[in-house]
């Protein structure tokens, strides 16, 4: 059985706390490893290591920092299959989905390779008599990321790629459920030439999270997870004077207008709702057809598609999705389906009793489809994070717009229509952070920023793109004047540009 410790100062370090967590293989349900859970003292040791290494890295010119990231990109490409298999083994995603996880992370690292340009400041010559003003971006120092189980490659790279490019040292606390890929990424960063101590991986649970939030030398923290924990991290980290970007849960809607291509909309809902067993913060979990006729046509298209979904082990390249990450996650999702039935929603497709021959102990569940869901039901109000799609029928466009706008989550939303006016109006008015128009999963590309509104995001700056560079740097502004032409004697008037 594999023993997983920490990665500190450029090398693997065994855990010292005496506490561990099981790492499961969701396909079979078996325990395949033990991961160490760090104490506050172990976290502090990683911070000390990072703090000692960071000044020299910050003094390294940005072109050289970018070259390390370029080498890292090459190494990940060379090890793509190995990383995808490791990710699928610990998480349960299919191999193709695991490769997509890795690729979306790499795209942010590619963006961060432009750091010589991204960190450029501004310059104004002759801002006043003999006065020039310029600004510069400088790294914060030691920063940290707390990342979730559902994207064990992508989100760590979203965090440490820009942070390290900006000249910071990084402490990564990945999910203890699937720690293998983050550890392997740290190894590849070292192989790419990153100095020891600039990227440290500390595995752990709430004890190490609290140590990150309380540590005075950690200047910023990025988090992705549930909204309740995001709010906790934002409040506690901010109380200790840190910058915090904390991204929480979601209840992403897809509006289907009467003029939409119904086959296209149904296919989009199937992929966005059931891919990765619904364990995505950007999964579409609510379909909102406008009008009863639209709803009936959508149901007619969806039911056979959901019934035909192929659930299989991660190694089955023909599978649409694999198992959930843990048995606890499986039981939680099933309990939501039970609640939906008891609240009066119409369960059109029931995947609760799905079993896979030869994998009876795996954490599998078939797709579930609800109709006649109403906004007062738990399955509408709460994030399920599983292969469950709910249909909420809207009488008209105004009601369809109101549903995502009034929901407590504001992560992503999509509209399917052929009407440009309706799409433009929807994008302008909906109170949600990321909008797709005939795009089911509106995750922006790496040179834009990713972030939801309301209880889907806490903090002023989003992930990756320009906001990522702003988050991991501070701006210094210099006002400069040289002796020529300076009059003698003190001047008690505040400087102006006159």
Smallest Cα–Cα separation from 195: which of 59, 87, 102? 59
Q: Are 465 and 484 in contact (CB under 8 A)?
A: no
Please tell me the distance from the alpha carbon of residue 35 to that of residue 240, in angstroms, as a whole number.
Answer: 29
Q: By three-state DSSP, how is residue 2 classified?
A: strand
DSSP classification of residue 18: S
Q: Are 177 and 148 in contact (CB under 8 A)?
A: no
Phi, psi of 443, rounded to the nearest 5 degrees: -80, 115
Q: Can you state the angle between helices 62-78 and 95-112, rounded to 10 degrees?
A: 170
Give the burial class of 63: count Cβ atoms within 10 A of its Cβ; 0-12 exposed, 13-18 middle, 19 or more buried.
exposed
Residue from 113, 166, 281, 368 carrying the catalytic annotation: 281
* C-alpha to C-alpha distances, 261 to 256, 265, 351, nearest whole angstrom: 9, 6, 27
Phi, psi of 188, rounded to the nearest 5 degrees: -70, -35
DSSP classification of residue 169: E
Compute how many other C-beta atoms are within 10 angstroms of the C-beta atom of residue 496.
7
409 Cα distance to chain centroid: 15
**DSSP for 429-484, written as a single string:** H---SEEEES-SS-PPPTTS-B--EETTEESS--BSHHHHHHHTEEEEEEEEE-ST
Please tell me the distance from the alpha carbon of residue 342 to that of residue 447, in angstroms, as a whole number.
Answer: 45
**DSSP for 358-413, written as a single string:** T-TTS-----EEEES--TTSHHHHS---SSEEEE--BSSHHHHHHHHHHSSEESEE
**What Rg, from alpha-carbon coordinates, does the chain have?**
25
Q: By three-state DSSP, how is residue 84 classified?
A: helix
Smallest Cα–Cα separation from 140: which of 243, 60, 53, 32? 243
* Intra-chain end-to-end CA distance of the chain, in Å: 73
Catalytic site includes residue 113:
no
Q: Which residues are CB-neighbours of 492 under 8 A, at least 6 positions away?
A: none
Catalytic residue numbers, as ranges: 281
């Amino acid at each position: 059985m594999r023993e997983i410790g920490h990665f500190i100062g450029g090398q693997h370090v065994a855990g010292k706390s005496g506490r561990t967590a099981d790492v499961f293989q969701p396909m079979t349900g078996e325990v395949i490893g033990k991961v160490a859970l760090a104490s506050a003292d172990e976290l502090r040791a990683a911070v000390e290591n990072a703090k000692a290494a960071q000044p020299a890295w910050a003094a390294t010119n940005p072109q050289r920092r970018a070259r390390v990231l370029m080498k890292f990109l090459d190494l990940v490409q060379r090890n793509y299959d190995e990383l995808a298999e490791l990710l699928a083994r610990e998480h349960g995603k299919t191999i193709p989905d695991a490769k997509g996880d890795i690729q979306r992370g790499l795209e942010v690292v590619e963006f961060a390779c432009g750091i010589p340009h991204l960190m450029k400041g501004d310059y104004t010559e002759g801002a006043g008599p003999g006065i020039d003003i310029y600004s510069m971006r400088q790294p914060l120092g030691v920063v940290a990321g707390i990342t979730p189980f559902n994207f064990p490659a992508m989100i760590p790279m979203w965090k440490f790629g820009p942070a390290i490019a900006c000249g910071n040292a990084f402490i990564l606390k990945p999910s203890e459920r699937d720690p293998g890929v983050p550890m392997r990424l740290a190894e590849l960063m070292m192989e790419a030439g990153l100095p020891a101590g600039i990227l440290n991986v500390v595995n752990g649970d709430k004890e190490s999270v609290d140590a990150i939030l309380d540590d005075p030398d950690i200047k910023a923290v990025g988090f992705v997870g549930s909204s309740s924990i995001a709010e906790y991290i934002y409040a506690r980290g901010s109380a200790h004077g840190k910058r915090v970007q904390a991204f929480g849960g979601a209840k992403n809607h897809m509006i289907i207008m009467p003029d939409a291509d119904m086959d296209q909309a149904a296919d989009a809902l199937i992929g966005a709702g059931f891919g990765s067993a619904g364990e995505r913060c950007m999964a579409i979990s609510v379909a909102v057809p406008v009008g009863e006729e639209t709803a009936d046509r959508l149901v007619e298209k969806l039911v056979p598609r959901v019934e035909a979904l192929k659930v299989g082990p991660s190694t089955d390249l023909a599978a649409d999705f694999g198992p959930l990450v843990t048995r606890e996650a499986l039981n939680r999702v099933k309990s939501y389906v039970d609640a939906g039935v008891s609240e009066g929603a119409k369960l059109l497709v029931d995947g609760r009793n799905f079993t896979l021959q030869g994998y009876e102990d795996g954490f599998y569940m078939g797709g579930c489809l609800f109709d006649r869901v109403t906004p007062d039901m738990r399955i509408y109000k709460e994030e399920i994070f599983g292969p469950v799609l709910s249909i909420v029928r809207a009488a008209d466009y105004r009601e369809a717009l109101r549903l995502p706008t009034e929901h407590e989550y504001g992560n992503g939303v999509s509209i399917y229509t052929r009407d440009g006016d309706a799409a433009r109006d929807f994008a302008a008015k909906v109170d949600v952070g990321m909008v797709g128009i005939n795009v089911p999963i509106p995750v922006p590309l790496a040179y834009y920023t990713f972030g939801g509104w309301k209880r889907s995001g806490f903090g002023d700056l989003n992930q990756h793109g320009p906001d990522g560079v702003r988050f991991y740097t501070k701006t210094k502004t210099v006002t400069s004047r040289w002796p020529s032409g300076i009059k003698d004697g003190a001047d008690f008037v505040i400087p102006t540009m006159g």
